[in-house]
């Protein structure tokens, strides 16, 4: 048999039927739904008199627009309240399980899927959210879709998709101390660009990936979309199976044993070929921090703000000039030492328990710098409860951080958590686009430990030399 990639094995197993003119009808095992990209899809079903084909393969939560303050209070923003209300109505009407704001399992959709054990190897998983690529960390094919496609999946449990190309990204060697999953993925995006993997599904391989925990792998796969990839994935191994065992929705006992035996075959065969291959020397990756207005505008923390004149094309030069003007940065300024106003520890990229432990380790016994406002937003209510059981909330609070309920929060600022114009933020999230965290807000993406340290120091620091 021809050697196949991990991607091909999952894809081939989900083709319901080839369609004329090239695309294939692909079956979806798990459809995750949230309040922002689904109301128009449910309305479409209603108008056409259609039902949800497999409500039991569909799971909903409210995360994007929800306030992260006191959960006992009603949502003050009337439009946000209406959107969250619509999700509840739709879930009830169409028979879909919903983890609402009162649920102990509520959280960012890409945090709760894995946490509940809903996300499993070999699945096709979709959600009306580009960061659905996160779930690929389990050896699933997971990708974001638009609202029309959400409606399509609700109605048919299938999607019409063109087979994407494949790209292997191999991280060779082990990452150095202080260098995290976030740094690996940012370094990759810096190298191949925000459109570097357009049209491709990335499979991450190599020693540095194998050494990552499931949470680290999720961070890497999460930002695949930031390199333009359709999805990112990592072959499951014992790290994956150990993570899954005992999760509420994961198989148990004999069923788990049988599942693991199947899942072990979910890896690219020797000799399988990819359309594109990229190799990164993980040992040479330094802590990364973005300086511009897309995740590809990134550099080592030891670097300086680049000079637009150093870029090859006129388009790039113009984009860099525009980015530096927006970010209020001058070429040649060292990134280390750049003063910040805010810290955001959160998002589907970096708000899991290991992220919070890593950040708490940095802030323990210290105080947030004068004039800096720092926010910790756990990725889910389960992460929050776990952190509280470990006393991390106290560590953060005593250091002057605000301790919040879970949600997307300041990652996209479509809730009360936003930057004021001109504020500079050390953020653990995934996008530094203009206005993403609030109009005029300036975002620098980095790892949780780096963001936490920046909050204490009051400026960007190199976590390897900072004490």
Segment 373-432, which members bind another protein (CB under 8 A)?
A: 412-414, 421, 431
Return the number of the residue (37 or 358) whose C-beta is nearest another protein.
37
Strands 165-172 and 276-281: parallel
Q: Which residue's entry shows tokens 């190599």?
A: 206
List the interface residues with another protein, window 269-288 (CB under 8 A). Answer: none
Among 2, 22, 177, 371, binds another protein (CB under 8 A): 22
Should residue 441 be labelled a site residue for another protein when binding is judged by CB under 8 A? no
Nearest to 379 by CA among 354, 343, 400, 413: 354
- Binder of another protein out of 257, 273, 279, 318 (CB under 8 A): 318
Tell me the closest approach of the beta carbon of residue 48 to another protein, in angstroms.
Answer: 7
Q: Give 127 or 453: the residue with its C-beta nearer to another protein.
A: 127
Q: How far is the CB of 432 from another protein (least distance, A)?
A: 10
Cβ atoms of residues 440 and 420 within 8 Å: yes
CB of 228 to another protein, least distance (A): 6
Pairing of strands 15-18, 24-27: antiparallel
List the x/- string, 58-77, binding to another protein by CB under 8 A.
------xx-----------x
Q: Which is nearer to another protein, 164 or 455 (CB)?
A: 164
> 3, 95, 195, 337: which one contacts another protein (CB under 8 A)?
195
Q: Which stretch binds another protein (CB under 8 A): 10-18, 205-213, 338-346, 360-368?
A: 10-18
Question: At closest approach, how far in Å is the CB of 430 from another protein?
Answer: 9
Does 263 participate in binding another protein (rule CB under 8 A)? yes
Q: Which is nearer to another protein, 204 or 263 (CB)?
A: 263
Closest C-alpha among 439, 426, 181 to residue 290: 426
Closest to 457 (Cα-Cα) out of 372, 359, 360, 364:
372
Which residue's CB is nearer to another protein, number 331 or number 435? 435
Nearer to another protein by Cβ, of 27 and 466: the residue is: 27
CB of 436: closest distance to another protein in angstroms? 5
For another protein, the closer CB: 50 or 464: 50
Residues between 123 and 182 with contacts to another protein, criterion CB under 8 A: 123, 128-130, 144-149, 151-152, 155-158, 160, 162, 164
Shortest Cβ 448–another protein spacing (Å): 22
- Of 128 and 206, nearer to another protein (C-beta) is 128
Q: What's the chain's Rg over C-alpha atoms?
A: 21
Residue numbers 346-375 binding another protein by CB under 8 A: none
* 442 is an interface residue for another protein by CB under 8 A: no
Binding span for another protein by CB under 8 A among 36-44, 171-179, 270-278, 345-353: 36-44
Residue 439 Cβ vs another protein, minimum distance, rounded to whole Å: 6
**Residue of the chain from 43, 97, 269, 390 that contacts another protein (CB under 8 A):** 43
């Amino acid at each position: 048999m021809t050697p196949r990639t991990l991607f091909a094995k999952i894809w081939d197993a989900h083709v319901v039927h080839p369609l004329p003119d090239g695309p294939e009808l692909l079956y979806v095992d798990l459809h995750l739904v949230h309040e922002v990209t689904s109301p128009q899809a449910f309305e479409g079903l209603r108008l056409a008199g259609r039902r949800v084909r497999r409500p039991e393969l569909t799971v909903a939560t409210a995360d994007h627009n929800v306030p992260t303050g006191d959960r006992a209070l009603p949502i003050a923003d009337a439009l946000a309240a209406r959107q969250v209300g619509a999700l509840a109505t739709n879930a009830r009407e169409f028979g879909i399980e919903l983890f609402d704001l009162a649920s102990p399992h509520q959280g960012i959709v890409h945090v709760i899927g894995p946490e509940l054990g809903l996300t499993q190897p070999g699945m096709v998983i979709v959600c009306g959210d580009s960061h659905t690529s996160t779930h690929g960390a389990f050896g699933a094919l997971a990708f974001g879709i638009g609202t029309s496609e959400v409606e399509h999946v609700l109605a048919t449990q299938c999607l019409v998709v063109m087979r994407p190309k494949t790209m292997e990204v191999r991280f060779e060697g082990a990452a150095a101390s202080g260098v995290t999953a976030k740094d690996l993925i940012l370094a990759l995006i810096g190298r191949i660009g925000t459109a570097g993997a357009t049209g491709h599904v990335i499979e991450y391989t190599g020693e540095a990936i194998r050494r990552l925990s499931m949470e680290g792998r999720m961070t890497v796969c999460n930002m695949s979309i930031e390199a333009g990839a359709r999805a990112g994935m990592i072959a499951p191994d014992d790290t994956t199976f150990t993570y899954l065992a005992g999760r509420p929705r994961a198989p148990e006992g004999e069923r788990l044993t049988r599942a693991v035996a199947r899942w072990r075959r979910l890896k690219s065969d020797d000799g399988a070929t990819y359309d594109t291959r990229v190799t990164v020397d993980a040992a040479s990756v330094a802590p990364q921090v973005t300086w511009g207005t897309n995740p590809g505008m990134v550099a080592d923390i030891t670097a300086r703000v680049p000079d637009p004149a150093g870029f090859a094309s006129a388009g790039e030069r113009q984009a860099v000039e525009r980015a530096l003007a927006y970010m209020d940065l001058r070429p040649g300024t060292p990134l280390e030492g750049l003063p910040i106003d805010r810290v955001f520890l959160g998002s589907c990229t970096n708000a899991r328990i290991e992220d919070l432990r890593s950040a708490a380790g940095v802030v323990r016994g210290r105080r947030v710098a004068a004039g800096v406002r720092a926010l910790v937003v756990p990725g889910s209510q389960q992460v929050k409860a776990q952190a509280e059981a470990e006393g991390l909330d106290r560590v953060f609070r005593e250091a002057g951080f605000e301790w919040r309920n879970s949600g997307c929060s300041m990652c996209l600022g479509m809730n009360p958590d936003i930057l004021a114009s001109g504020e500079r933020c050390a953020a653990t999230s995934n996008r530094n686009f203009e206005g993403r965290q609030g109009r005029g807000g300036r975002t620098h993406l980095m790892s949780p430990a780096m963001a936490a340290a920046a909050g204490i120091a009051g400026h960007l620091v190199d976590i390897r030399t900072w004490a």
